[in-house]
Amino acid sequence: MNCWIVMPAHNEERTIGGVLEALRREGWRNIIVVDDGSRDRTAEIARAQGAVVLRHERNLGLGAALRTGLQEALRRGADCAVTFDADGQHDPRAVRAMVEALEDADLVIGSREFLNVPAHKRFGNFMLNLITRLMGGPLLDSQSGMRAFSRRALAAIPIRSDRYEVSSEIVINARRLGLRIKEVPVKCYFTDYSKARGTTIASGIRIFLRLIRLRALYG
């Protein structure tokens, strides 16, 4: 199976080398890193690890990086693609279970078992899950950055948002299109480094407002 890992990355020189090494130890060789306007050695380290590196000259956001990476995977004839964070919070050993779950699904979400997650991130995740559920995407962990797409899902799911609301957008659109969605439990490791990144309460409010606009756009 021609399966590609798609990894959005912004200023991840501290972690991306180790993450790519761990994925290769698990047997994954087809990796696309989307360097989203980094000002450090992210792209250089990714290339040295053998990844295909696509670069945005300026930081466009998570949604834009995923759109670029997933479109490239489709262009390269991917049978499936798995999105994977560059900050070290995802377990590379879970990728195989995600891909295997595509046998009877089009979109697989890695439902995270949170380890050492701060309370404000738990609350933010709960609220964004609730918002996504109200908009048509009833899942345990709609905000997980670890997802597996079948080729059908890669070709069918539109991504129009550029920022963090993309996580909800993917789930909502998959449900709207009648695609088969499945959740697989995965471990998620929050280090001091990863705790300092990602969404905040303020960004959660912005995500909600953008989702309202997206809902109006899709109808």
Domains of the chain: 3-218 (3.90.550.10)
Radius of gyration of the chain (CA): 16
For the entire predicted model, the pTM comes to 0.82
Nearest 5 degrees, angle CA 172-CA 159-CA 106? 55
Q: Which of 12, 3, 64, 5 is nearest to 31 (CA)?
A: 5
- Tens-of-pLDDT digits for all 219 residues of the chain? 899 999 999 999 999 999 999 999 999 999 999 999 999 999 999 999 999 999 999 999 999 999 999 999 999 999 999 999 999 999 999 999 999 999 999 999 998 765 455 555 555 555 555 555 555 555 557 778 899 999 999 999 999 989 888 988 898 899 889 999 999 999 887 665 554 555 555 556 666 666 666 665 665
DSSP string, 127-156: HHHHHHHHTT---S-TT-S-EEEEHHHHHH
Four-CA torsion 94, 98, 101, 106, nearest 10 degrees? 170
Q: What single DSSP character describes residue 92?
A: G
